[in-house]
């Protein structure tokens, strides 16, 4: 094995090395609740370092998959290795090295952030002096300020979410799992949280995050996997998914079903259509011929249309079964 260069040791003892295996390896995982299959033959590798986004519509199986990764739900079939350890065989060894923020905050509301952190730190058996130092660091890192000493129930949703994230960081985890960390937060708090997640990533922490905000996933995640009905439907870097699975540009317009059929016939496969209600979006690498075809359809009167770069939301919508008409 080669010795890592000196600057990578200085930057962080968790700097990823080329020979490091995945932090999480999921193989053939199935989770059934009675007759219902929530996760269906899932294979997933989460690389060490970086931020990995698990995306999918409501009920896709994201939370269930995360619960199996940190060992509170057992798979019906298949294996999950975290840090190379079989989570079923040694969940404690895995949990000591990871942090989790659940979809719902789990905080003792009558107590302050500092008191919540102290209780959770004791659970992790952190010695007193180290725990006090760690609490101080986290209060500072998540900018809790004087709010850290007020009862949690007196605080806004955004502050409670930041405290929940602080809790998941108390043991300085190598892997941080965040289930919808920014749902319901205002834009400024979301931005502040993204920046904290980037700081953690820069220090070498691996982050797995779920979100319904595709702009957030596109900006924050190095890789994303999109799930639908318990299965992984696609995976890759956001930009790569947009350009290889879809196209560079999108043209959006309102039209009737009959107009959409005529337009799609005129384009004869030159653009991939997605129709939701009266809104038609046409994806292609070059929108000029698409716009020209729309203008020909309109004759003299030109309707309003939007030409924009395709984004991860477009990949999400086309991959997870919003009704595709025509060429899909």
Ligand X SMILES: Nc1ncnc2c1ncn2[C@@H]1O[C@H](COP(=O)(O)OP(=O)(O)OP(=O)(O)O)[C@@H](O)[C@H]1O
Which residue in 50, 56, 71, 99 binds ligand X (CB under 6 A)? 56
Cβ-based burial of 198 (10 A; exposed 0-12, middle 13-18, buried ≥19): middle
Where does this chain touch ligand X (CB under 6 A) — which range of 20-28, 51-59, 258-266, 271-279? 51-59
Minimum CB distance to ligand X smaller for 216 or for 249: 216
Where does this chain touch ligand X (CB under 6 A) — which range of 54-62, 123-131, 185-193, 314-322? 54-62
Cβ-based burial of 218 (10 A; exposed 0-12, middle 13-18, buried ≥19): buried
Q: Does 161 bind ligand X (CB under 6 A)?
A: no
Is residue 282 within 8 Å of residue 273, measured between CB atoms? yes
CA-based nearest residue to 135, from 163, 161, 156? 163
**Dist CA 18 CA 196 (whole Å):** 25
Q: Does 80 bind ligand X (CB under 6 A)?
A: no
Which residue in 59, 145, 151, 309 binds ligand X (CB under 6 A)? 59
Minimum CB distance to ligand X smaller for 50 or for 56: 56
Report, in Å, the least distance between residue 109 CB and ligand X.
Answer: 22
Task: Give the angle subtended at the CA of 185 by the CAs of 158 and 166, to the nearest 5°.
Answer: 40
Which residue in 33, 123, 140, 248 binds ligand X (CB under 6 A)? 33
Minimum CB distance to ligand X smaller for 38 or for 251: 38
Minimum CB distance to ligand X smaller for 49 or for 53: 53
Minimum CB distance to Mg ion smaller for 11 or for 30: 30
Which residue in 15, 63, 76, 132 binds Mg ion (CB under 5 A)? 63
Q: Does 63 bind ligand X (CB under 6 A)?
A: yes
Report how far apart, in Å, the C-alpha atoms of 21 and of each of 18, 45, 287 are.
8, 9, 41
**Dist CA 278 CA 16 (whole Å):** 47
Minimum CB distance to ligand X smaller for 12 or for 103: 103
54 Cα distance to chain centroid: 4
**Dist CA 154 CA 70 (whole Å):** 30
Largest CA distance in the chain: 77
For binding to Mg ion (CB under 5 A), which residues are involved?
Answer: 62-63, 103
> Where do contacts with ligand X occur on this chain (CB under 6 A)?
33, 36, 38, 56, 58-64, 103
């Amino acid at each position: 094995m080669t010795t890592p260069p000196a600057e990578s040791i200085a930057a962080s003892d968790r700097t990823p090395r080329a020979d490091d295996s995945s932090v999480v390896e999921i193989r053939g995982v199935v989770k059934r609740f009675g007759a219902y299959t929530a996760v269906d033959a899932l294979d997933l590798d989460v690389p060490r370092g970086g931020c990995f986004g698990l995306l999918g519509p409501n009920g896709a199986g994201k939370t269930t998959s995360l619960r199996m990764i940190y060992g509170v739900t057992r798979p019906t079939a298949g294996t999950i290795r975290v840090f190379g350890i079989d989570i079923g065989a040694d969940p404690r060894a895995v949990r000591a090295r990871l942090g989790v923020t659940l979809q719902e905050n789990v905080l003792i509301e009558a107590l302050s952030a500092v008191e919540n952190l102290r209780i959770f730190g004791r659970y992790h058996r952190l010695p007193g002096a180290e725990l006090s130092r760690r609490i101080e660091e986290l209060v500072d890192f998540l900018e809790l300020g004087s709010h850290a000493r007020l009862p949690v129930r007196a605080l806004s949703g955004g502050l409670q979410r930041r405290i929940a994230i602080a809790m998941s960081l108390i043991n300085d985890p190598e892997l941080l799992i965040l289930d919808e960390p920014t749902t319901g937060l205002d834009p400024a708090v979301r931005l502040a949280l993204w920046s904290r997640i980037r700081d953690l990533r820069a220090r070498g922490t691996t982050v797995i995050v779920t979100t319904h905000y595709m702009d957030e996933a596109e900006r924050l995640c190095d890789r994303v996997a999109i799930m639908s009905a318990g299965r992984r439907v696609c995976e890759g870097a956001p930009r790569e998914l947009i350009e290889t699975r879809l196209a560079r540009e999108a043209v959006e317009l309102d039209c009737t079903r009959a107009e959409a059929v005529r337009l799609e016939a005129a384009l004869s496969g030159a653009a991939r259509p997605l129709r939701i209600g009266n809104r038609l979006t046409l994806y292609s690498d070059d929108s000029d011929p698409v716009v020209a075809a729309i203008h020909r359809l309109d004759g003299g009167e030109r309707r309003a249309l939007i030409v924009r770069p395709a984004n991860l939301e477009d990949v999400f919508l086309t991959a997870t079964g919003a009704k595709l008409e025509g060429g899909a």
